[in-house]
Amino acid sequence: MPAKPSAAATSRVPAVGHGHHSRTNGAVAARTPAAPAAPAKANAPKAEPKILFQKLFKSVGPRTYSAHVKECPSGNQFLVLTEAKRDADTGEMKKSKVFVYSEDFAAYFRMLHETAQFIKTHPVSEAIKMKRMRHWAKKEAEAATAAREAAAAAVKPIAPTKVTATKPAPAKTPARKAGRGR
């Protein structure tokens, strides 16, 4: 009788860190492999995808956006869109990534184009733009004030010490040794 497959081999629960992906409703989700992977060579590290193109910009606020086009060792290309935001409490960079694979490029870019057209025909009102500009100007001023206060706290002035004049101790004269008959 054949052995029953293990729960891990039949599971369809998303698992992070496996190089396999499935597509559901246009979204990319990680999944466990259906069969055990072939054993890797003992000392061969996994080849990193080659970066073909990259572009990034720092937003007005605390976010940075980047786009990378990468090529797998198999020759397939994919796009990685990343939003990075520094956590105010820990100072740690929190990143959110979207992976778009070459077979989805046409539909994905069509969707982005249609979205951009919508935004162009329905722009944010001037009142909202001004409100956002004031918000980020206030945040920037607060950050500058906090930086100045931190720098001032780090540079502590040296407290002057009081110097008092003291009388010098009387010099001791060497005592004469009693001579032998001199």
pLDDT tens string 93-132: 999 999 999 999 999 999 999 999 999 999 999 999 999 9
Percent of the chain past pLDDT 70, that is, above it, reads 62
Whole-structure pTM value: 0.55
Which among 86, 113, 108, 85 is positioned nearest to 98, based on CA atoms? Answer: 108
Contacts of 68 (CB under 8 A, 6+ apart): 51, 53, 54, 79, 80, 82
Q: Tell me the C-alpha distance between 135 and 139, whole Å.
A: 6
Whether the pLDDT of residue 21 is over 90: the answer is no
140-174 b/e with 16+ CB inside 10 Å = b? eeeeeeeeeeeeeeeeeeeeeeeeeeeeeeeeeee
Task: Give the span between the Cα atoms of 22 and 6, in whole angstroms.
Answer: 20
Confidence of residue 29 (pLDDT cuts 50, 70, 90): very low
Mean pLDDT, the chain, whole residue set: 77
Give 49-86 pLDDT, tens digit per residue. 999 999 999 998 889 999 999 999 999 999 999 999 98
Confidence of residue 171 (pLDDT cuts 50, 70, 90): low
- The whole-number pLDDT of residue 170 equals 66
Q: pLDDT band for 173, please (50, 70, 90 cuts).
A: low
